[in-house]
Amino acid sequence: MKAVFSIALGVIAAIGGFIDIGDLVFNAQAGGSVGTPVLWAVPVGVVGIIVFAEMSGRIVAVSKKPNFVLVKERYGRRLSTFTLVASLVLTVLTLGAELGGLGFVLNYFFDVSVNFFVLVALIGIAAAIYFLPFGGLERVFGYLGLALLVYIAASLKLDPDWGEIGRGFVPESHSAAVYWYFVVGLISAALMPYEIYFYSSGAVEEGWDESDMKVNRANSIVGFALGGLISVAILVASAQVLKPAGISPTSVGTVALVAEQPYAQVGLILAFVGILFAVGGATIDTAFSAAYNLAQHQGWKWGKRFRLLSEPRFTLSLAGFLLIGFAIAQTGVDPIELTEYAVIFSIPVLPLTYLPILLVGNDRNVMGKYVNGPLARVLGWAYFGLICVLAVAAPVLFVATNGGS
């Protein structure tokens, strides 16, 4: 049982990273619009985040330095400040989208008012952050978010064409810009910067040291692979249910209905419960990521491992980011569109996020015997090159396809 609980950090980081409110709808849109030919993009993104998450966790275990400390040390004041500001703007936009998404999900249960339930969501998230220890946050939101496994069962129950699915995992040339838009979006969604910020800072919260290398490996591989598997299942199930009907989902309710078709009301309830806790986990990820980054850049004391009231600057920044996200959500902006903007326009920040991890992971003076091996070094540089390509391609495809429409 202890071994199962030890991968909670990877589960909440992956569930929050892969299955936030925008990605839920984005995966369903990919399945409903393009279908299974874009499936290969998901494992490409999954392998990339596993490589960098494992690397960042290993760096923490050896040096006790999370990602944004590496950014500050490697870039100097000006570039690290630019990276901080860019990451905070995009992370807070994502936070607003997540709180707005929670309001929509809760309103599906009670049908009162989305804005009212955005307030309820804010209070619930703030209470969880204050009262639950870091490990409790991981387990409550990470494991209850696994109700989304209903989509794996649904994708099997819908009896898809397995030959077509197999072909979907093989990259193919394609002339349609919308195809490449979804490919780039699926890969990029797996590599969102806040996932690494949260994961590396969470490893510090957990007190990892060199004896936790196996725990880090299990967290990065099992957690993120599981998130990727759920993403694949949502895409496959949507291709079976939505594509034949010509439906391109624009709300989380449509995504939940995909699970209802094979399992009726039970499937619908499980989908909504999974979405509620997955989006709640993503909200916690993003809120903490913003506060972690600011505190680490400024050299403040930070983290849930201390009493929040004993570190007022970190606590006030965490509360402030939640309130800004709440204010954004209360404007009535569509959380789906807001998250898609945040995903696409966070991609130019990806190289600045991942380069310090790669440089430190390859530095034998810092890492000693835990320095990157040949495979990690090759994969790291290959994915960094891919990230640079995505940083250019994503905004262009977003404009060319009008957001995949």
75-122: pLDDT as tens digits: 988 999 999 998 898 888 889 988 998 998 899 888 888 899 999 999
**What is the DSSP code (8-state) at residue 370?**
G
For the cut 90, the answer to whether the pLDDT of residue 146 exceeds it is: no
Average predicted confidence (pLDDT) for the chain:
86
Main-chain dihedrals φ then ψ at residue 66, nearest 5 degrees: -75, 175
For the cut 90, the answer to whether the pLDDT of residue 222 exceeds it is: no
Distances in Å between the Cα of 37 and the Cα atoms of 19, 46, 76, 100, 254 are 20, 17, 43, 31, 21
Lowest mean pLDDT among 120-134, 174-188, 318-332, 372-386: 174-188
Kindly state the average pLDDT of the residues 373-387: 94
Residue bearing the bigger pLDDT, 28 or 338: 28
For the cut 60, the answer to whether the pLDDT of residue 8 exceeds it is: no
With bands split at pLDDT 50, 70 and 90, how would you rate the model's confidence at 60?
Answer: very high
d(CA 26, CA 39): 13
With bands split at pLDDT 50, 70 and 90, how would you rate the model's confidence at 11?
Answer: low
Kindly state the average pLDDT of the residues 196-213: 89
Lowest mean pLDDT among 169-183, 256-270, 312-326: 169-183
User: Residue 10: its pLDDT value, please?
Assistant: 53
Structure tokens, 26: 């984005």
Structure tokens, 147: 């109700």
Residue linked to tokens 């810092």: 366
d(CA 278, CA 377): 32
User: Residue 353: its pLDDT value, please?
Assistant: 87
Lowest mean pLDDT among 40-54, 209-223, 349-363, 391-405: 391-405
d(CA 398, CA 405): 10
Long-range contacts of 262-266 (CB under 8 A, 24+ apart): 262/153, 262/154, 262/157, 262/158, 263/150, 263/153, 263/154, 263/157
For the cut 50, the answer to whether the pLDDT of residue 256 exceeds it is: yes
Kindly state the average pLDDT of the residues 312-330: 94
For the cut 60, the answer to whether the pLDDT of residue 1 exceeds it is: no
Residues above pLDDT 70, as percent of the chain: 93
Q: What is the pLDDT of residues 234-243, one digit of tens each?
A: 999 999 999 8
User: Residue 13: its pLDDT value, please?
Assistant: 56
For the cut 90, the answer to whether the pLDDT of residue 386 exceeds it is: yes
Which ranges of 111-149 does DSSP label H, i.e. alpha helix? Answer: 114-131, 134-144
d(CA 58, CA 360): 10
Domains and CATH numbers, the chain: 2-400 (1.20.1740.10)
Structure tokens, 2: 């202890």
For the cut 60, the answer to whether the pLDDT of residue 2 exceeds it is: no
User: Residue 358: its pLDDT value, please?
Assistant: 94
For the cut 90, the answer to whether the pLDDT of residue 295 exceeds it is: yes
For the cut 90, the answer to whether the pLDDT of residue 321 exceeds it is: yes
Residue bearing the bigger pLDDT, 356 or 144: 356
Lowest mean pLDDT among 77-91, 253-267, 344-358: 344-358
For the cut 70, the answer to whether the pLDDT of residue 217 exceeds it is: yes
User: Residue 390: its pLDDT value, please?
Assistant: 85
User: Residue 21: its pLDDT value, please?
Assistant: 74
